[in-house]
Amino acid sequence: MRHFDILNPNLDSTRQMFNELENDLRSSKIDLGIGIYRDERGEAPVFKAVKKAEKILFQNENSKSYKSPSGNKKYCENILELVLGKKIINDRNGKIGSIQIPGAGSGLRIAGELIKSKTKNKTISVPNPTWGQQTFMFQKSGLNVLKHDYYDEKNNFLDFNNMLKGINNLKSGDALLLHGCCHNPTGADLSLEQWSIVANLCKKNGVLPFIDLVYQGLGHGINEDVLGIQNLIKIVPEVILTVSSSKTFGVYRDRCGLFAVITDAERVTSQSLETMLSEIARELYFHPPDHAASIINILLADENLKEEWLSELSSMQNRIVSLRQQIGKSFQDKRQTDFFSFLKSQSGMFSLLPISNEGIIELRKKSGIYLMPDGRINIASVRENQIDFITTEICSLKEFQSRKL
């Protein structure tokens, strides 16, 4: 008997797509699936400010010893200030506990374990649609995963009224997943007013918000992208927050993020919260990697490096906005309709294109264009000289030829 006699493991549609992409030998293939920012050369650039900070780290680092399971404390302080601002941190008066984590995926799993162990219902509601890995991680943690309406895929807009109905159906003690900004996969975000409405509804019904923040700075700006989160935290007594630094600092492969619990519980301290989170993390991994956390600390402590990083991040955000405008216009020019205008008004790296599974497969085989299986396009991976080809190939699909837009 052999335990590992496996020839073809079962892969989900996303893994299958990436395997096809990797094995596609055409030099003209276009990857619009994987969630990374690419420049006009088609590369995922390292921030110049990050490289300079990394050089300083290399010259001054004198140990590669382990950090504690809670990770780099200064990094946690820096990221909390970047997301929440000093006023909220001061107003919460020591009721925020945080740990450094190895990226967004671990944050989802820690959230799942935390909700399972500390809430009575062991239930979380996720937007429909949402990033598939979120649902996967929650299910692996043993949570009961519900779905609430979020996006009208037929008409391409945020379906806020039905979202509220879904939240109203939750029980006291249930958790609610909220994308911090740049919703994945739709690019459709809550307005500040809508954030406040959701916050008050959560407070009224005893629902626990869990915010997943991955794209700060790539939507409307480094400060603008977290105003909704700040509004919510001012209203709701308890919030779970996870933050990824992968996109905001371009440190994808270095795996760096933050996990925090914010509460007003009477007996709790930041230290007791940190200890609780560290114990959960210790069951999943021993120590988070420190490299990116130390680089980010150096960068944020140096005003010149910080300004250079903010300038680079702003340039990326502006380029994404420009690409959205150009892609939307190209679609409109080819089909003589404003159907694709939603691309211009959405924010961040992603949008959902109304393409069937058959159309997505046709694009791969015929044109070498790889979208995610749900029709998600990574706007931030498109090069300007590819726009005409991409929109032409999509508009030439049989389903678009016969569809009245």
d(CA 269, CA 100): 18
Does 131 qualify as catalytic in the annotation? yes
Distances (CA, A) of 82 to 56, 116, 127, 189: 22, 29, 26, 20
- Active-site residue, from 174, 212, 290, 374: 212
Q: Tell me which of 31, 52, 95, 131 is the catalytic residue.
A: 131
Please, which residues have CB within 8 angstroms of residue 384's CB and are 6 or more apart in sequence?
40, 323, 326
Instruction: Give me the helices (H) in 119-263, please.
Output: 132-140, 160-168, 192-205, 227-235, 246-249
Render 28-95 in DSSP notation, one character per residue. Answer: T-EE--S-----TTS--PPPHHHHHHHHHHHHH----PPPPTT--HHHHHHHHHHHH-HHHHHHHTT-
User: Which structure tokens are listed for 205?
Assistant: 């019904």
99, containing H or E segment:
strand 96-101
212 in active site:
yes
Catalytic-role residue among 189, 247, 254, 309? 247
Q: Which tokens hold the place of 106?
A: 């671990």
Are the C-beta atoms of 276 and 97 separated by less than 8 Å?
Answer: yes
Q: Which helix (H) or strand (E) holds 271?
A: helix 270-282
CA distance 329 to 372: 22
Selection from 198, 201, 197, 195 nearest residue 227 by Cα: 195
Cα–chain-centroid distance for residue 276? 25
Query: Known catalytic residue: 247?
Result: yes
Q: What are phi and psi of 181, to 5 degrees?
A: -165, 170
Q: How far apart are CA 36 and CA 280, in angstroms?
A: 29
Q: How far, in Å, CA of 199 to CA of 203, rounded?
A: 6
Note whether 57 and 298 are within 8 A (CB). Answer: yes
- Looking at the annotation, which residues are catalytic? 131, 212, 247
